[in-house]
Structure 1
């Protein structure tokens, strides 16, 4: 009887392949999958002012990681960091026109990868998978 791979290892393998494939697609846009996640959060945030801390919480990333991502996105011209009027220690993060120019292509690339992940699944199976993944994410997320 063949022993099953631990679930955590399966998630890790899926993530590794996902990032490799997604990075390959995004290469022509000049961004990485991690940078795409930040831009995606900014595109879809309902907050009027988004700070680095908001991004850290939403993406479950640490401060140094987000600092590096924001620096690279700023250097590439996709975001602007502007000191907050409310608290000078904080910077609000804004998307530039250049970011909006690649939004549609970036989202199309992500949908292409999502389609690959769910190949051979019907709508009911995809919905069940999403529900289970929500539970897994809830279970593992820090309180």
Structure 2
């Protein structure tokens, strides 16, 4: 490829950033009817995934996983708690610690909203073969791993799906 063609080609980081922004905007628009944002949905998925693995989650776990500040995650949890989707429960082992748990309404809401997310992903991947999806997923996973300097990402995005 000659230099001028290479200069006109968008950088991978730009394309990934644009893709992330477009996905978040489209999903936020679809979730608005359910009074949720994609970020709130992501927190519910994380809690559900860990609930299915019998793991207790505290606010610091969410901060670390989503790489946000304490005030940011606290505000997000306040909004989810006000919607009765999560609850803060005093730990049986240490009364100073509050575990973050899904409420029954949170579990039900997550199941209802998952259809919206699945439909959005299906529309996003329309026209791609299984092999292209697998290859693209591996490509993106490698970039994430390179940036995190890890061999395995500690997040299973599909583990919270109910069977």
TM-score by length of 2: 0.79
Unmatched 5+ stretches in structure 2: 151-163
**1:129 is matched with which residue?**
136
- Pairing 1:78–2:78 present: no
**1:27 is matched with which residue?**
32
The alignment's C-alpha RMSD in Å is 1.8
- Pairing 1:10–2:46 present: no
Give 1:106 shift.
1.3
Give 1:142 shift.
6.6
Match of 2:41 among 36, 41, 46: 36
Give 1:58 shift.
2.7
Distance 1:71 1:4 in 2: 43
Cα distance, 1:112–1:41 mapped onto 2, change above 3 Å = same
Give 1:66 shift.
1.5
Match of 1:91 among 88, 98, 116: 98
Match of 2:117 among 81, 92, 110: 110
**2:158 is matched with which residue?**
none
Q: Specify the structure having the higher radius of gyration (Cα).
A: 2
Give 1:96 shift.
0.9
**1:48 is matched with which residue?**
55
Distance 2:104 2:62 in 1: 20
Q: Aligned pairs, how many? A: 143
Secondary structure at the residue paired with 2:8?
coil
Secondary structure at the residue paired with 1:87?
coil
Unmatched 5+ stretches in structure 1: none
Distance 1:140 1:48 in 2: 27
